[in-house]
Amino acid sequence: MKYYRIAELEQLSGVKAHTIRIWEKRYNLISPERTDTNIRLYNDHQVRKLLNITALLASGVKISKVALLSENDIHSRVRQIQSKSNTDVATFSYINDLTSSMLDFNEELFENALTKAISQMGLFEAMTKVFYPFLYKIGLMWTTDGTMPVQEHFASNIIQRKLIAIIDALPPCTKKNKIFMLMLPPMEWHEIGLLFSNYIIKSKGFRTIYLGQNVPYDNVAPIIKLCKVTHVLIFLVSRRNESEVRELRKHLNLSASTQLLVAGGASQTALVGKNKNSHIMTHPTDLLKFL
C-alpha cells in the first residue's frame, strides 16, 4: 500500500491542504496516520474516499451533509451521479474513479469506469471530456512525484487496449477518395492520441494505414507513394529542434498535394510553420474538417 502526503492528496483531489485539515478536524471525514515527526500520511482507501467526497460536492451536496453519510452511502450517491444527464458532474466523477483505481492498480475497476463513461457519453465525448483530462492530470502528478511512472503506463495501456477493441469492431471502410497514414515519428511513444484519431477516421468510413510508434522517416516515403496516401497524420510530443520540425514534409518526402496533419504538444506543433498543405490539429474536432 502506498501512502500519500497531504500535498500529494491536494493534487489528487483538487482540495486545498488547508481545507483537508479543516475537514479532518471539524467532520472527522478521514483520519490520516502520522510519522514520528507528526507528518500526515494517507492510504489508498482514504484517497478514494476523498475523491468520492469531491464528486458529491461538485454535484451540490454540502460538506456538512456529506459528513453525515456512511462510506456506502457516499459510494452509492456517486454512482447515481454518473447515471444522470449532468455530464459535467459525471465527468468529474469518472476522472476520480479512474484516478483511484489507477493508484492501486485495480484493473477491473478501471475498466468498469472506462466502459461506463463510454456507454453514457459515447467514445468521442468520453475521450475528450474524461480520458484526456485524466491523462493530463496524472501527467502533472508524475512530474511532481505524485504518481509512479508505472501507474501511468498501467492506465495508458488499458485505455489503448479499449480503443483497439472498439476500432476492431468498426465496419469495413467504404470511402475510397481519401487514404490516411497515421504514424508517430522517431522517438515518439505516446500512442493514445494516434489510436483515437484512427478511430475517428475509420468511423467516418475512410481507409487508414496505421504504422504506430517510433517510425523511421525513410521507411515511410515508399508506402505513401505506393498506397497513394492523401493525408499523413503525426503526433509531436517529445521536444525537437526547430529545424527538424519545420522540415517534416521534406523528411517524409511528401508530394505537393499530400496533406500533413500535425497534432500533439503546442510548443512543438507551433514550429511546423505556415504551409497550405500543413495543418496543426489542436483538438480532435479539427480532424473532422478533413473527413
In a 3-state reduction of DSSP, which class is residue 245?
helix
108-121 tens-digit pLDDT: 999 999 999 999 89
The owner of cell 522540415 is 247
CB of 151 closer than 8 Å to CB of 103: yes
Give the residue with greater pLDDT, 235 vs 147: 235
Report how far residue 193's alpha carbon sits from residue 159's, in angstroms, rounded to the nearest whole number: 11
Cell of 3: 501512502
The pLDDT value recorded for residue 130 is 93
Q: How crowded is residue 20: how many other Cβ atoms within 10 Å of its Cβ?
A: 20
CB of 101 closer than 8 Å to CB of 109: yes
Residue 173 DSSP class: P
The partner residues of 275 in beta bridges, in order of sequence, read 278
The pLDDT value recorded for residue 206 is 97
Instruction: Taking residues 112-138, report their average pLDDT.
Output: 91
pLDDT band at 85 (very low <50, low <70, confident <90, very high): low
Instruction: Taking residues 239-245, report their average pLDDT.
Output: 78
Instruction: Report pTM.
Output: 0.85
Least confident of 12-21, 175-184, 240-249, 279-288: 240-249
pLDDT band at 86 (very low <50, low <70, confident <90, very high): low
pLDDT band at 58 (very low <50, low <70, confident <90, very high): confident
> Above pLDDT 70, what percent of the chain?
95
